[in-house]
Amino acid sequence: MSGIFYGVGVGPGDSELLTVKAVKVIEQADIIIVPKSGSTQDSTAFNIAKPYIKPETEFLPMVFPMAGKQKDWTDAWVENREIIGKELDKGKKVVFLTLGDPMFYSTYIYVFNLLKEANYEIYTVPGITAFCGIASHVGFPLVEGDDVLSVLPATTDEETIEQTMKYSNNLVIMKVSKNTNALVEKLKENGFKNAVLVSRCGLPDEEVIHNLDDVTDAKVNYLSTILARRN
Amino acid sequence: MSGIFYGVGVGPGDSELLTVKAVKVIEQADIIIVPKSGSTQDSTAFNIAKPYIKPETEFLPMVFPMAGKQKDWTDAWVENREIIGKELDKGKKVVFLTLGDPMFYSTYIYVFNLLKEANYEIYTVPGITAFCGIASHVGFPLVEGDDVLSVLPATTDEETIEQTMKYSNNLVIMKVSKNTNALVEKLKENGFKNAVLVSRCGLPDEEVIHNLDDVTDAKVNYLSTILARRN
C-alpha cells in the first residue's frame, strides 16, 4: 500500500490561521519535508506549523532548486522524487509545508507536478493567502460586486503592470521593494485612491501605510504588499 | 466596556477548512447573526460553522438588503446598526459568518463599513476563498512565477472580460452560469489551454470538467467556477 503525499498551506504567519484540516494532517504526519534552500520563507512555514508537529514526527531535509517553468526536471529534482517515492512506497504520510496557499505562487506547485507525473497519491490542503490575511488584518475590503481583482508581482514587466491597472478596479501588488516611487506614481495616475502598503504583517515590526503619499522607497524596508481600489 | 464585532470567514464548504482562529471565535461567541435574506449562501455559511457553535450561543436573525455601492445607508441598514450596537454596548461578542473570505466579494464588507463608521471595535478573521479551495481539491495550480492572476465574475461587462483575458495569464472566473458557450469560445481564442470548470465543489453532486470542449451551456447546471492558465 502506497502512502500519501500532502501539500499543506500554513497561511500567512499566525499559527492560528492554519485550517482545522491542516492541523490534523500535520499531527498525523510520519515525515515532514524541511526544505534546505536556506531561504527565510521555508523556515517561516516550518515555524508557523511547529505548535502542531508531534515529537515523534521525522524530518526529511531536502534541497529544492529553482524550477522555473521548465518541463525537464534537473537531477536534483529527480533525486528528490526518488527519496520521497521511497518513503511513500513504505506507506508513509509525507507532508510538505508551504507559506500561504499551496497552489498560489509556491514551490509546492513544482513538487506537486513532479509527484503527479510519477502517479503518486497527492492530497493538497488549501491555506489563507497573504493578501487575504492582510486585508482582514488592516480592514481593507479587497473586491465587491462585479469588479475584477488582479494579483500581480511588482517584479513583472511594465506593460503588464500598466494594462492590469487599466482594466482592474482592485489590485494586490506583491513583492514590492525597489522602484516603489514609480509604482505609487502609476497607481495615482490610474486613479487608485484607496490603497494600503503593508510590510511584515502581524509581526512586532509590522508597518502599515494608509496614504500613498507617504510611501517612498526610503520607507519600504522589506518585501511589501500593496492593496488598492479605484472606487 | 464595549463588545467586539467579529467577521469570520468559514471558507468554501468543508467544516475542516475553517481556521483554528475562526473556530475559537465561534466557540466564544455570545451572539451569532443569522441573515434572514433566505438566500442559500447565508444558510450555507451557518451550516459550515455549526459543528463549532456552542448550545448556549444566542442567534440574532437579521435582514441585510442588497447594499450596492451606495454611500447612504437605507433605513434597514441603520436599524441593523442599532440592533447590533445595542448588543455591543452590553459588552457582547457578536459574530457575523461569511462564506469564503470576509473581504472578498462578501456582504460582510457592507456590515464592516457600517460598523466602522460608527466606531465599533471590529475583528475580522480571514477564510479560505472558494477558488483556493477548488484549486487544491482538483489539483490545478493557480499562478506561478511573475504571472498575473485575475479574478472576475462572469457577470461583468464584455470589454472587461476581453481585456482581462488579454493581459492575465491566469484566470479565476466566478459565477459562471449562462452564456457558458461564449465564455469558453473566448477562453480558447485567447489561448487558455489549461482550464477546469467546477460546480458544487466537494459536495456529493460535484461536477468537474477538465476539457473546455466538454463545457456547454447544457452541462452547467449550477453557479460554477472556471480556473484557467494560458501557459
Residue B97 DSSP one-character state: E
Kindly determine whether residue A136 and residue B125, on different chains, have CB atoms separated by under 8 Å.
yes
> Do residues B143 and B212 lie in contact, with contact meaning Cβ atoms separated by under 8 Å?
no
The mean-pLDDT minimum among A32-36, A101-105, A171-175, B71-75 falls in B71-75
ipTM: 0.94
pTM of the model: 0.94
Query: Which residue of B16, B109, B133 is in closest CB contact with A141?
Result: B109
Three-class secondary structure of residue B161 per DSSP? helix
Q: Report chain A residues whose CB lies below 8 A from the CB of B132.
A: 9, 101, 103-104, 126-127, 129
Kindly determine whether residue B132 and residue A103, on different chains, have CB atoms separated by under 8 Å.
yes
Choice between B32 and A66, residue whose per-residue pLDDT is larger: B32
Q: What is the pLDDT of residue A71?
A: 60
Angle at B114 between CA B112 and CA B115, to 5 degrees: 70
Task: Determine how many CB atoms are found less than 10 A away from the CB of residue B62.
Answer: 17
Distance, CA of B27 to CA of B95 (rounded, Å): 10
Residue-wise pLDDT for A108-156, tens only, equals 999 999 999 999 999 999 999 999 999 999 999 999 999 999 999 999 9
Mean pLDDT value across chain B: 91
Kindly determine whether residue A127 and residue B124, on different chains, have CB atoms separated by under 8 Å.
no
Closest-CA distance, A152 to chain B, in angstroms, reads 5
End-to-end CA, chain A: 55
Query: Which residue of A68, A103, A163 is in closest CB contact with B141?
Result: A103
Distance, CA of A144 to CA of B71 (rounded, Å): 14
* C-alpha torsion B156→B159→B165→B168, nearest 10: -90
Residue B34 DSSP one-character state: E
Q: Report chain B residues whose CB lies below 8 A from the CB of A104.
A: 132, 135, 142-143, 149
> In the block, which residue shows the cell 499559527?
A15
**Whether pLDDT at A177 is above 60:** yes
Q: Report chain A residues whose CB lies below 8 A from the CB of B135.
A: 101, 103-104, 126
Q: Please report, for chain A, how many H helices and E strands are present, in that order.
A: 7, 10
B209 contact partners, CB below 8 Å, separation of at least 6: B196, B197, B198, B215, B219
Residue B74 DSSP one-character state: P
Q: Which grid cell is A225?
A: 504588499
Residue-wise pLDDT for B79-121, tens only, equals 999 999 999 999 999 999 999 999 999 999 999 999 999 999 9
Q: A49, A44, A60, A43: which is closest to A5 by C-alpha?
A: A60
Kindly determine whether residue A19 and residue B21, on different chains, have CB atoms separated by under 8 Å.
no
Kindly determine whether residue B124 and residue A139, on different chains, have CB atoms separated by under 8 Å.
yes
Kindly determine whether residue A164 and residue B148, on different chains, have CB atoms separated by under 8 Å.
yes
Q: Report chain B residues whose CB lies below 8 A from the CB of A124.
A: 136-137, 139
> Do residues A106 and A129 lie in contact, with contact meaning Cβ atoms separated by under 8 Å?
no
Query: Which residue of A116, A136, A145 is in closest CB contact with B69?
Result: A145
